[in-house]
Amino acid sequence: MDLVPAPSGETPVKTPVVEVEAVDLAEQVNAETVALEEASSDYETDSDDSENWELMSNGDNTIQILRDEQLHDGLVPGACTLEEAIAYRKRLHDIGKAAFVEETIARETVTAKKLCTAFGIVPPAFLEGAPDEAFHPLLAIAISREFSRRPKLPQYNSIDDAVKLLREAKNIIVLTGAGISTSLGIPDFRSKDTGLYSKLAHLGLSDPQEVFDIHVFREDPSIFFSIAKDILPTEKKFSPTHGFIKLLQDKGKLLTNYTQNIDNIEANAGVLPENIVQCHGSFATATCVKCQHKVNGDAIFNEIKEGIIPECTVCRKRIAEEGLKPQGLKRKRSTNGQQKDRKEFEDSSDEDDYEIPTPGVMKPDITFFGEDLPDEFGQRLIHRDRELADLVIVIGTSLKVAPVAEVPGILPRNVPQIYISRTPVSHTGFDIDMLGDCDVVVSELCRRAGWDLQHQMIPVDEKVEVTPVEGYESRHVFKAIGA
C-alpha cells in the first residue's frame, strides 16, 4: 500500500464529512460509547462502561469489534487485509487525524465502510446498503479510538521482561487507583455495585455522584459528611502495594506516584509528599469554604468520625470578636432601613445569613465534581516527568477517569507500560498485563527481582502461581497458592 502524503497548504479537496474533533474529548472512552449508541439505535446499553467494547460483539444488530486475527484470516467480506490495516494505522499515527481523513475519505481513496475495518470495527448490519456517508460517524469514532491508542511494544511480554524492566528502570511513574486500597477494607467509591455508591441509596440522591458534587456540598454539606467517615482512613495502615511503591522510592526509582485515591494512605507507607501527586486531592488537608483557611486533615478527623460537620476556627473567632463589638450584628440591618420592621414579623430563615453569621464549613481538599483538578498534575507530568520516565506501572485502576487515564497517552510511546489489576482493560494497550490481586502480583515481582518486600499481609512462605492467558502473549494471571 502506498499512501501519498498530503503536504500542508495544498489546494483544498472535498471537505471531510468525518468530524474527527467531535469525539476528540478528554473522556475518550465515554465519548466513544455515547457516540456508538447514537450511531446504532438498535443497540441498547445500560452501562457507560468502556469494557463493553467487547460485549458489543454479541447479537445481530450490534457493532462488532474485529480482531487482527480475523483480518489476518480474511473472513470478513470487504474488509482490509491485516497488512492494509496496519499500514493505515501507522499512517494515521504518523500524520494525525485531520490529514489522514483528508488523504483517505476526502480524496475517496478508500470507502469509510472499508476503512472502519482497518480500525477494528465491522460495518454493522443495520447500515448495510447505506451510502458511504452513513459510515462516517462510526469511522470518526474508530479513528479517534485508534489515534488515542498507544501501540504495544513488541519486545516486552513475559514476567521476566517485567522484572527486568523493574530492575533496570530509574524513573518509574506509578499510576494507582482504588484497587490498591481495597485489601484494607477501603471501599472503591466509584464502583457502582460494590462500592460506596450502593450505601448511598438511602440518602435519596438522584445520582450517587452528587455526594461529591461541589454544588450539592455548598447547599448541604451534611450529605457528604454522612459518608465521609466511611472513606476516611482510620488507622495508619497500608497495603503491600503501598509498601511496593515505598520500596521503589527507597531504591531511588520512584519518579512520581500519580494516584486517584483520596485516602492519603501512601503517606502511611512512607511515600514522601514530593513523590506523590494526588490527582483528585486528598484528606491530607482541608480548607474553609468561606475564608479559605487551610488546616491539616488530622485537625478535623475526629469531627468527621463522629459525623459532625467541621467548622472553621478562624471564622468562628472572627464572628466571636465581631459579636463583642457594639452594633456588630446590627450593622447590616441598619443599612436595610425600612425593611427592618417587616423582617421582625417574619420567621424568615432565609435571612439567617444576614442576621447570624456562621463559620465556614471545612471541606477536605478532595476534588469534587465541578471543581478544577489540582494543577500540579499537568505541570509535573508535561513539564518534567514526560521527559524523565522510563517505565510506567499502572496498579489497581481501570484507567477510566481523567486525568490519570490520559497519562499513558501523554508519555512517549517508547516508554514501556505495564499493568497490574484484577481485570484487563481493553481501551489502552499495555505491554504486559499482570492480572490478579495487586498485593500478590507485586509481592511476586519483588521476589523474582530479589527485592525484600516485607509486609504483615504477605505470608512469609507465600507461593504464587503464574498462568499465561491463552491467546495473549503478554497477559498473565497471578494467584497465591491456597488463597
446 annotated among ligand-binding-site residues: no
The smaller minimum CB distance to Zn ion, of residues 3 and 295, is found at 295
Question: Is residue 288 a contact point for Zn ion (CB under 5 A)?
Answer: yes
Question: Is residue 293 a contact point for Zn ion (CB under 5 A)?
Answer: yes
CA 249, CA 226: separation in Å to the nearest integer? Answer: 36
Site for Zn ion in 211-270 (CB under 5 A): none
Query: Where are any strands of DSSP class E within 186-231?
Result: none
315 annotated among ligand-binding-site residues: yes
Least CB distance to Zn ion at residue 362 (A): 8
Least CB distance to Zn ion at residue 320 (A): 13
Establish how many alpha carbons lie within 13 A of residue 87's alpha carbon, considering only the half-sphere containing its beta carbon: 11
Least CB distance to Zn ion at residue 288 (A): 3
Using DSSP, state whether 320 is helix, strand or coil: helix
Q: How buried is residue 250: exposed, middle or buried, by Cβ count under 10 Å (0-12/13-18/19+)?
A: exposed
CA 265, CA 94: separation in Å to the nearest integer? Answer: 41
Contact 411, 173 (CB under 8 A): yes
Contact 296, 225 (CB under 8 A): no
280 catalytic residue (yes or no): yes
80 annotated among ligand-binding-site residues: no
The smaller minimum CB distance to Zn ion, of residues 227 and 289, is found at 289
The stretch among 307-315, 344-352, 364-372, 473-481 that binds Zn ion (CB under 5 A) is 307-315
Least CB distance to Zn ion at residue 325 (A): 19
Least CB distance to Zn ion at residue 352 (A): 17
Q: Is the dihedral of CA 185, 190, 191, 196 positive or negative?
A: positive
Beta bridge pairs of residue 257: 174, 276
The smaller minimum CB distance to Zn ion, of residues 245 and 312, is found at 312
Contact 8, 384 (CB under 8 A): no
For residue 146, the tally of other CB atoms under 10 A from its CB is 20
The stretch among 48-56, 193-201, 291-299, 373-381 that binds Zn ion (CB under 5 A) is 291-299
Contact 420, 446 (CB under 8 A): no
Using DSSP, state whether 45 is helix, strand or coil: coil
Among 20, 169, 312, 393, binds Zn ion (CB under 5 A): 312
288 annotated among ligand-binding-site residues: yes
Residue in the block written with cell 447547599 = 219
For residue 439, the tally of other CB atoms under 10 A from its CB is 29
The stretch among 203-211, 257-265, 273-281, 311-319 that binds Zn ion (CB under 5 A) is 311-319
Least CB distance to Zn ion at residue 188 (A): 32
Per-residue interface string for the shown chain with Zn ion, residues 333-362, x marking contact by CB under 5 A = ---------------------------x--
Question: Is residue 316 a contact point for Zn ion (CB under 5 A)?
Answer: no
The smaller minimum CB distance to Zn ion, of residues 237 and 290, is found at 290
Q: Phi and psi at residue 315, in whole multiples of 5°?
A: -60, -45
Name the residues annotated as catalytic.
280
Binding residues vs Zn ion (CB under 5 A) = 288, 290-291, 293, 312, 314-315, 360
Q: Which residues are annotated as a binding site for Zn(2+)?
A: 288, 291, 312, 315
Q: Which residues are annotated as a binding site?
A: 288, 291, 312, 315
